[in-house]
Structure 1
Amino acid sequence: MIWLRSLLFNMAFFGATGFIALVLLPLALGPRHWLTLPIRGWAAVVLWLLRVICGIHLRVTGAEHLPRGAGLIAAKHQSAFDTVVWLRLLPDPVYVLKKELLHIPLYGRLARNSGMIAVDRAGGASAMRHLLKAGRAAAEAGRQIVIFPEGTRVAPGVRVPYQPGVLALAAATGLPVVPVATDSGRYWGRRSFCKCPGTITVAVLPPLPTELRRDALMERLEAEIEAETARLLSGEAVDKPVDELGAGVRS
């Protein structure tokens, strides 16, 4: 049954994504804000398909910590789900993503024109300069920067070193870092065809103090995200349905 529901979801997901991307392509010729609401609508469609077809719901805790203006989100990355959900939870998000994604037909054009920050991970100092310049511009425009400090999707229970890009962005923008944990990989696994029913939790933690030194900031960021993620994976979190931008979300 899970396999069949996953097949139906994948068909609906890729079909809807391709159709919406084609419809949006002409808007990419105009100013960036033309794409903001339609892309948020696409994310809403994906979350609806997950709920209706796969039985996957969303719960957000700590939504009061989400920035409504300029902000810097450092989020745990376990699943492709994590690249969708922030388009619904934030008013004007900009993702830090790998440059290779811009080569994907349709998606790459829309990502570029919606102002996503594409980074060449082999680019060294020039890539870092681009990240900081684009990050400052996004902050000045009042956007919410979403970065995955692990740099890639990581399966639940696996630990990899956090990358320093988030520290550089925090220093360049002066924005407090908002840590976020999740258990999304339990239900939509890394490179997994099957989508398992359940409730994905996105746990938004309080912003870290801006006065922390670099080493202390990275240490505390990783410790808080990993501790909360471990708690979610252990099943300690209480599932309570609330409205979308309250203390939690049930979609």
Structure 2
Amino acid sequence: MTLAFQYLRSLLYMIQIYVAMLVLGIAFAPYALLSKNGARQACKTYARWAIWSARWMVGIRCEVRGPVPQGEVLVAAKHQSFLDILVIFNALPQAKFIMKQELMWTPIIGIYAKRLGCIPVNRGKRGAAIARMIKDVAREFSEPGQLVIYPQGTRVAPGAQKPYKVGSGVLYEELKQPCVPVATNVGLLWPRTGLLRKPGLGVVEFLDPIAPGQARDSFMAELEQRIEARSDALMAELGFEQDGRDKIH
């Protein structure tokens, strides 16, 4: 298969998933406005479509490993691309995300994110953002579910280094819930930038939970070590070397 043909497949795939987002967003809108369950079903339908069509259009197969949490937990996930959002949301029964504030004002995504109870964060104002995040989480805490946060705050390319932010530790202390770390390798197949989507097995793996009650610094150190070590191992399965060379073609 030529690289040019894979680029064409990638282009067609990206066009159709955005068309699908628009079509499903409009079709489910009446149900979503009446019921949060309707909004959740709309997003689940979209995630399943995007994951399924990725398999036959660009050759990306997705696999979920580890025990998927069912109760009220904090989920702290490695974030490499849009694909890990789709796989995590599809796997969890009642996921809601900590997400950057700008996304709440985008068409379709913003409307459904609000209906799901996602928590907006202004990343430019750290102290105020954390205080607001805690307040918003407390407001949504009355409804059960899995609160998903990306500890590094943004998508991080495979092999790149970015510090883990304090927000995960603050929520861990405030919620007093187990925290489930999540590792992934999907950024090797669906990069954070660019068009090309590469065939291969993308994995999202739920790791053993970290029990509540640790000191914040201890928790943050364990969280980072476990996510990074397992993500490195998953990326190695796809031939990625930590000096930055990527053998996937």
> Which structure 1 residue ranges, 4+ long, deviate > 4 Å from structure 2?
none
How far 1:137 sits from its partner (Å)?
A: 4.1
The higher-RCO structure (CA 8 Å, 6+ apart) is: 1
Please say if 1:194 is aligned against 2:192: no
8 Å contact from structure 2 (residues 84, 204) kept in 1: no
Q: Which of residues 23, 28, 35 in structure 2 aligns to 1:31?
A: 35
> Pairwise CA RMSD of aligned residues?
1.7
The whole-number CA distance in structure 1 between the counterparts of 2:134 and 2:210 is 20
Aligned match of 1:11: 15
Q: How many residues align?
A: 235
State the one-letter code of the partner of 1:20.
L
State the one-letter code of the partner of 1:13.
I
8 Å contact from structure 1 (residues 73, 146) kept in 2: yes
User: What residue ranges of structure 2 are gaps of 5+ in the alignment?
Assistant: 240-249
Aligned match of 1:71: 73
The whole-number CA distance in structure 1 between the counterparts of 2:108 and 2:211 is 39
Please say if 1:129 is aligned against 2:117: no
SS in 2 for 1:19: helix
Assess, with a 3 A threshold, how the Cα gap between structure 1 residues 124 and 226 changes in structure 2: closer, same or farther: closer
Q: Which of residues 153, 156, 159 in structure 1 aligns to 2:155?
A: 153
Aligned match of 2:222: 220
SS in 2 for 1:200: strand
State the one-letter code of the partner of 1:57.
R
Please say if 1:21 is aligned against 2:25: yes
Aligned match of 1:95: 97
Q: TM-score, normalised by structure 2?
A: 0.89
Q: Which range moves more in the overlay, 193-202 or 116-125? A: 116-125
The whole-number CA distance in structure 1 between the counterparts of 2:230 and 2:97 is 22
Listed one character per residue, the Cα deviations across residues 90-115 of structure 1 (whole Å, up to 9, x for unaligned) are: 01100110000112122212211221
SS in 2 for 1:81: helix
8 Å contact from structure 1 (residues 162, 222) kept in 2: yes
Please say if 1:235 is aligned against 2:211: no
Q: TM-score, normalised by structure 1?
A: 0.88
Aligned match of 1:249: none
Aligned match of 1:183: 185
Aligned-residue sequence identity (percent) comes to: 34
User: What residue ranges of structure 1 are gaps of 5+ in the alignment?
Assistant: 238-251
SS in 2 for 1:223: helix
The whole-number CA distance in structure 2 between the counterparts of 1:37 and 1:21 is 11
The whole-number CA distance in structure 1 between the counterparts of 2:29 and 2:41 is 14
Q: Which range moves more in the overlay, 32-41 or 149-158? A: 32-41
